[in-house]
Structure 1
Amino acid sequence: MAALLTVVNPGALHPLAVETRDAIHCCSIQNKSVSLFWIKAHAGLEGNERADSLAKEAALKSKRKPDYDMYPVSFVKRFIRMDTLDEWNRRYSTGHTASTTKLFFPSAVEAYRTVRKLSITKELTQALTGHGGFSEYLTRFKCKENPACACDPGVSETVPHLLVECPIYESVTPAPRLQDFLVEATPRSWEPQDSNPKPVKRNSTIPRIHKKNVAIIKEVCEKFKEGTINFELNKMADVWQTAYYKLPEKVQCFKIHIKKLTDKEKKENAMRYGNFSGAINWNKCNLEIKAATEIHRRHFLQGDSENEGVLDNIIIVEESYTGAQKIQEESADQWLVAHNMLLMRDCETGGVVVFSKVPHLSKQAEIEDALKDFSEEYMNGKMACDDEEISNRSFDSDDDVEL
């Protein structure tokens, strides 16, 4: 679909797009009609399957030079930038300095993305770096004779100690403590003590660590289910239409096309985007939510059947001019396929959306049964599409998608 949009866009100057438009123009001069269509891949269409077979055969057996082996400048810039970021992160991770900062930010890239959004103060700088009025730090520079904390002569006064262990500040500091937002702290004795962690609110300045820790993600969604959800990931790959929602804002009538990624596509994505300093595991990005016009935004679902239906939203946004890429923050969702419907729960807000499989239109009684399987005792939401709205929309899987 992206290729078709590029071809019909007169402002697109890609050599292949220009050549294709010239060829179509020549045909029109000769009174020949040319029509371009998008068709669903791997749907058993004879012509499309034949084209796939010939393309694979040529790729495997042909020894000729490719007809087109050029690549855009944006690709080169992106490659250089990703290589630079990887080298920066390698030096940061393997270096012997910034030990306190690494407790908060194990990745230099993630640290940059987070810190640039914060309102930097002198207190925050001292806490994140360990360079401040702490006895352990002052002793290193001969500004104090003893590194001990006032609470215990045998314990050094460091940032982790003051935020996590020191009894002097435990009762007078209502702000989030260090264990609330450490990603991978060392030593492991600094694990969170709260067995029911609260999800971080949107636009919070605290790092979104539930995107990194599958165990925490499962606990956040665990409270919404009574038994083990029989989750089958492969059944999600289809075209779905909104049928019901339980959210504070109104949900328009729309469709989503969820595509199952092949191993080849996963490798191609890994080569194209990288892993964003370990934030993405492409082997577990099994699904992609497709949108027709969002050519600079790709939405993947990361996780497998062992995560009780909880999948990370991996949204990669690419700037059209610079080619720079970034991950858009989004909370995890819990999914279930039941009664010919797809159910989704936001692990951050608890909001629920139910999709029916196109072209089937789910009835209220069917939705109610599916919600019970999703541990929703009451159907206290709203139907997403009335009959008139549905009749005015064609079931084209290329509608824009925004979850």
Structure 2
Amino acid sequence: MNIKCVINFVFLYVTSFNSPVTTSNLTIYDICPLYKKGASLNVQDLVGSWMTVYTQPKAVDCFKFHIRATTELEREQYIVRYGDFNGRVDWSSCLLQVETPLGKHFLQGNGTESGLMENIIITEEKYGEYTLQNQSADIWMVFGRRGSEVLMIRDCYGDTAAAFARAPYWPTAPELSAIFHRSGIAAQTHGRLLCEPQDNPTRQHVHTENHQHKRNC
């Protein structure tokens, strides 16, 4: 999921990106200029439903998205249907499919490169003819125990970042602050709102100081 694109979409600023998708002659720093060596990610830990907790630099209306694992048979079918776009897509490493407010797309990466995941977004220009969109990659990190995880996503080309909780878990503000510290992402918390899911009215709205408005998922 291109987190910058999704945040811009929800904020009603749809933008395009010229960042390249992987090719064989690109280094990891060409793909992700902000790449830093870190812990590996088990991509199967990403499977499930997630909901917005925090976004920066823009605060947006909350949204949910779902991640599912692709099967070996599906990946073989994608090779036949779409091809590999001149070597830019390695379907054997497209292990996940994401469903977001923007639609469905794939994540390319097995998590061993410090959670670096490339966004594979394919559009059909006309029947049977497909185009691979140029989208920047993201760094994905998961914190917490199974069932109470927080997913951190950071854009590879800027300061856009977001935190998501595995539904129905909801972190406290101190927990989220500690996770930001561990992730190495500087949280722009001044005036920032934490979302609150509508389907759990017993939870109090959590927000940072100096911000009186509430925004619901």
Same fold (TM over 0.5): yes
Q: Is the 8 A contact 2:143 2:150 kept in 1?
A: yes
Instruction: State the Cα distance separating 1:312 from its structure 2 match.
Output: 0.7
Which residue of the partner structure matches residue 11 of structure 2? none
CA distance 1:230–1:282, shift in 2 (3 Å): closer
Post-superposition CA distance 1:169-220 (Å, at most 9, x none): xxxxxxxxxxxxxxxxxxxxxxxxxxxxxxxx9656xxx4464324224661
CA distance 1:330–1:293, shift in 2 (3 Å): closer
Matches of 2:56 and 2:131, distance apart in 1: 30
- Paired letter, 1:235: D
The 5 Å alignment of 1:158-197 reads none
Q: 2:178 aligns with which of 369, 378, 384?
A: 369
Q: 2:119 aligns with which of 313, 322, 335?
A: 313
Which residue of the partner structure matches residue 96 of structure 2? 287
Q: 1:304 aligns with which of 98, 110, 115?
A: 110
Instruction: State the Cα distance separating 1:255 from its structure 2 match.
Output: 0.6
Matches of 1:369 and 1:202, distance apart in 2: 33
> SS state of the match for residue 376, structure 1?
coil
Q: Does 2:215 match 1:215? A: no
> Higher Cα Rg: structure 1 or 2?
1
Q: 1:235 aligns with which of 45, 52, 66?
A: 45
Q: Is the 8 A contact 2:21 2:31 kept in 1?
A: no
Instruction: State the Cα distance separating 1:341 from its structure 2 match.
Output: 0.8
User: Which structure would you say has the larger RCO, counting Cα contacts within 8 Å and 6 or more residues apart?
Assistant: 2
The 5 Å alignment of 1:214-363 reads 214-217=27-30, 220-222=33-35, 225=36, 228-247=38-57, 249-291=58-100, 294=103, 298-319=104-125, 322-339=127-144, 340-363=149-172
Structure 1 unaligned runs (5+)? 1-200, 394-403
Q: Is the 8 A contact 1:368 1:379 kept in 2?
A: no
Matches of 1:323 and 1:384, distance apart in 2: 43
The 5 Å alignment of 1:17-166 reads none
Report the TM-score when normalising by structure 1: 0.41
Q: Is the 8 A contact 1:217 1:347 kept in 2?
A: no
Post-superposition CA distance 1:210-232 (Å, at most 9, x none): 6432422466123xx5x622422
- Paired letter, 2:89: I
CA distance 1:267–1:384, shift in 2 (3 Å): farther
> SS state of the match for residue 131, structure 2?
strand
Matches of 2:54 and 2:158, distance apart in 1: 16
State how many pairs are aligned: 179
Matches of 1:220 and 1:293, distance apart in 2: 25
Which residue of the partner structure matches residue 162 of structure 1? none
Matches of 2:46 and 2:27, distance apart in 1: 20
Instruction: State the Cα distance separating 1:252 from its structure 2 match.
Output: 1.7
Matches of 1:331 and 1:363, distance apart in 2: 30
- Structure number with the higher helix fraction is 1
Q: Is the 8 A contact 1:211 1:332 kept in 2?
A: no
Q: Give the share of equivalent positions with the same residue, in percent.
A: 26
- Structure number with the higher strand fraction is 2
- Paired letter, 2:118: D
Post-superposition CA distance 1:17-57 (Å, at most 9, x none): xxxxxxxxxxxxxxxxxxxxxxxxxxxxxxxxxxxxxxxxx
- Paired letter, 1:216: Y
Q: Is the 8 A contact 2:22 2:89 kept in 1?
A: no
Which residue of the partner structure matches residue 171 of structure 1? none
Instruction: State the Cα distance separating 1:306 from its structure 2 match.
Output: 1.8
